[in-house]
Amino acid sequence: MTSICLPDETARQHVQPLPDGIEVVVWDGNCSPMPAVDGVDMLVPSYGTAAPGAAVVARYSNLRVIQLLTAGVEPWLDLVPPGVVLCDGRGVHGASTAELAVAGVLSLMRELPRFRDAQLVHRWDHADADGIDGKRVLVVGAGDIGTRVAAALEALGAEVTFVARGARDGVRAVGELPQLLPLHEVVVLALPHTPDTHHLVDAAFLASMPDGAIVANVARGAIVDTEALLAELQSRRLRAFLDVVDPEPLPAEHPLWTAPNLLITPHVGGGTRGWEQRAYQLVRDQVIRLHNGEPLRNVVTDGY
């Protein structure tokens, strides 16, 4: 018998049908009374809620796998007990997050916020805007989201360069950023937040970008030094699209709200209708793999 703990009854419905020999326990880690979770093999936490304390995770005494519904895993890295495998939600939100990144870049390129402002005051403000065709785009992060962003922008005529932790065929190393940044008009951030990527986009990074360049962040807010970016925006030298910010949620009085050349969305990259079906299809596949002794997908190593 293999046992999986799901956060609610809706999740139970989404993973059905399951083969004989797989038992479902429903508990979100908070409500009482607590069901018997000591025999649970796979834990699937709720999407969009904070990671629980280590004491809650420790209640799953026979746990073998934690399957997240998010691509980011950083809140969980210190909570995974020894011998337990952590798996992320890679592939669940990739298309929708890439879609938003492309939409943000194109909105800034085609100056849609300016045209929207003109519409609100009933002004026919005809002007030529820029476009992505022929532009050089640096995609930092060569995973699911990054490759989807690249495919979409290349289809529109952009020239894409990938950057990741280490160089490989078709991918440049992070250490090459100082040489690459001055050559690219757009930078899209699609990499995990780890100690190595914290404030990767700092004052020196931004200063290396050419005038008028765009930085788009659909990864994690803390990858960008907010104060450094704010300085570049207030000088009107750079443009930015941010689906994630630091701090988050952004306080009402924060100067980013009124910064020029900036488009903000409230961390909605994965928030398209139907994500639950994609997420729990992954969960269903994973628990069947576990039950059958097959290799799991999306296993996290070194924070990725």
Name the phi and psi angles at 280, rounded to 5: -80, -15
Under a CB-based contact definition with an 8 Å cutoff, are residues 142 and 162 in contact? Answer: yes
- Distance CA(59)–CA(52), nearest Å, equals 11
DSSP string, 105-127: HHHHHTTHHHHHHHHHTT-----
Q: What is the C-alpha to C-alpha distance for residues 300 and 85, in angstroms, rounded to an integer? A: 8
Going by the DSSP 8-state scheme, the letter that residue 261 receives in this structure is T
State whether the Cα torsion 3-4-8-9 is positive or negative.
Answer: negative
Let me know: does 246 contact 270? Beta carbons within 8 Å: no
The closest of 28, 31, 22, 23 to 8, measured between CA atoms, is 28
Residue 14 CA to chain centroid, in angstroms? Answer: 23
Distance (Å, whole) CA 210 – CA 167: 24
- Tell the residue number behind the tokens 């011998």, with chain if given: 83
Task: State the DSSP code for 80.
Answer: P
| Residue in 93, 148, 220, 239 annotated catalytic | 220
For 159, what's the count of Cα atoms within 13 Å in the CB-facing half-sphere? 7
CB hemisphere CA count around 91 (13 angstroms): 13
Backbone angles phi, psi at 22, to 5 degrees: -115, 120
**Cα gap 70→49, rounded to integer Å:** 10
267 tagged catalytic: yes
| Identified catalytic residue from 239, 267, 284, 291 | 267
Annotated catalytic residue, options 9, 23, 227, 248: 248
Distances (CA, A) of 254 to 65, 107, 141: 40, 23, 28
Residues recognised as catalytic? 220, 248, 267
